[in-house]
Amino acid sequence: MEKMDTEIKEELSRLNALGLGRTLLPIEGPQGPRVAINGSVVVLLCSNDYLGLASHPLVKAAAIEAIEKYGFGSGASRLVSGNMEPHRLLEDRIRKFKGTEAALVFNSGYHANLGCIGALAGRSAEIFSDKSNHASIVDACVLSRAEVKRYPNKDVNRLEDLLKRSKAKRKLIVTDGVFSMDGSIAPLDSIVTLLDRYGAILIVDDAHATGVLGKGGRGTLEHFGVRHPSIIQMGTLGKAIGAFGAFIAGSRELIELLVSKARPFVYTTALPPSVCAAAAKSIDIIDETPGLRETLCENVSYFRDGLCGAGLDAPGSTQIIPIIVGDAQRTMEISRRLLEKGVFIQGIRPPTVPENTSRLRVTITSAHSKEDLKKSLSAIKEVLNEC
Ligand SMILES: Cc1ncc(COP(=O)(O)O)c(C=O)c1O
């Protein structure tokens, strides 16, 4: 025991010396555009609750109503203790929202990627994965035991070179729709042209695009106006949808296969029914309130213009805006000083992002007021000048 404690302490000191130790910052009250930390209210500029639905009164009411009707827990895996109504209704809602034949709900985006990639890619498959894909895709690729080829971020020519050389019968391309750490959009309009040419399947992880991108908020496919029978969509319910969980949307046969084969679906207790009811209500709100996306777009433009006006880079066009600092320790120092000025922007360091690209990952939501954004912009300018 003593030996183990010493080893763990040494590992922690190593991490901390590199500026890579992580700690949990307590906040008080619900998520929102502003949160309370140690009794003072700060602007929260690092949440994925892009449409401010996590604390929406109708979403909360849907969850409470479902708790009254169905209780809180779900008892077991849906394959074991029965398929409850809120799960079925949510899947029907997602299917209609995404315009696919069917959908299957998973307990998180992490589970959905593990489940879908694992079910489709066995040892004889080859996976072609963008180097900037989310950690859950990276882990899913490893667990699948398939041969994995990683291509440079958004480099469709390199992807095609790899596909050309592949002899695998099952070829699976996997990409984030919107890359989580820099907010750039995957070139799906080009990637889709490779599907028939090389007999490949494409999985799009639309964690940061669902509810946000496209005219109706349906995601990256809608943004590009792309459709193809070999595209599978993953989306999360814990970000713009403001609830928790995730889904895979695609053909009826795909969903049937996942029900039997996706281990993170089969071997885990289902989401609480109230979470499903809340997520379904959020999707209704997204459908019925295009103004939320319009406000988000206005806020994003305002903030990007403010950064550019201050001589800073604001790459991309989405609600995720990276301010690249480079050094991990300096990034965390900037984040700490911003907090002192009433703005919470989390610093992101390796291994989440590549070495020397530590950054402040700013996320804008439709719930931020112009005052919030103005205050944040001047705090960012001041702190970057200071350190
Ligand atoms: C691109 C991407 N995929 C998957 C996930 C995992 O989703 P979840 O938080 O629902 O597990 C995330 C979120 O953290 C993400 O950014």
Give span(s): CATH 3.40.640.10, the chain. 57-288
To the nearest 10°, report the CA torsion of 295, 298, 301, 302. -100
Q: What is the pLDDT of residue 218?
A: 98
CA distance 350 to 273: 36
Q: What is the pLDDT of residue 3?
A: 86
Nearest CA to ligand 1 atom 14: 109
pLDDT > 70 in the chain, percent: 100
Residue-wise pLDDT for 116-147, tens only, equals 999 999 999 999 999 999 999 999 999 999 99
User: Would you name the residues annotated as active-site residues?
Assistant: 180, 208, 239
How large is the average pLDDT for residues 222-239?
A: 98
Where does the pLDDT of residue 301 fall: very low under 50, low under 70, confident under 90, or very high at 90 and above? very high
227 pLDDT more than 90: yes
214 pLDDT more than 90: yes
Where does the pLDDT of residue 266 fall: very low under 50, low under 70, confident under 90, or very high at 90 and above? very high
3-state SS assignment for residue 156: helix
Q: What separation in Å is there between the alpha carbon of 236 and the centre of ligand 1?
A: 7
Give span(s): CATH 3.90.1150.10, the chain. 19-50+319-386
3-state SS assignment for residue 265: helix
Looking from the CA of residue 113, the nearest atom of ligand 1 is 4
CATH topology of domain 57-288: Aspartate Aminotransferase; domain 2 (3.40.640)
Q: What is the pLDDT of residue 2?
A: 82
Nearest CA to ligand 1 atom 8: 109
pLDDT > 90 in the chain, percent: 95
Full-model pTM = 0.96
CA distance 288 to 285: 5
Q: What is the mean pLDDT of the chain?
A: 97
Q: Does domain 19-50+319-386 have CATH number 3.40.190.10?
A: no
Q: What separation in Å is there between the alpha carbon of 373 and the centre of ligand 1?
A: 25
Q: Is 176 near ligand 1, meaning CB less than 6 Å away?
A: yes
Where does the pLDDT of residue 217 fall: very low under 50, low under 70, confident under 90, or very high at 90 and above? very high
DSSP 46: S
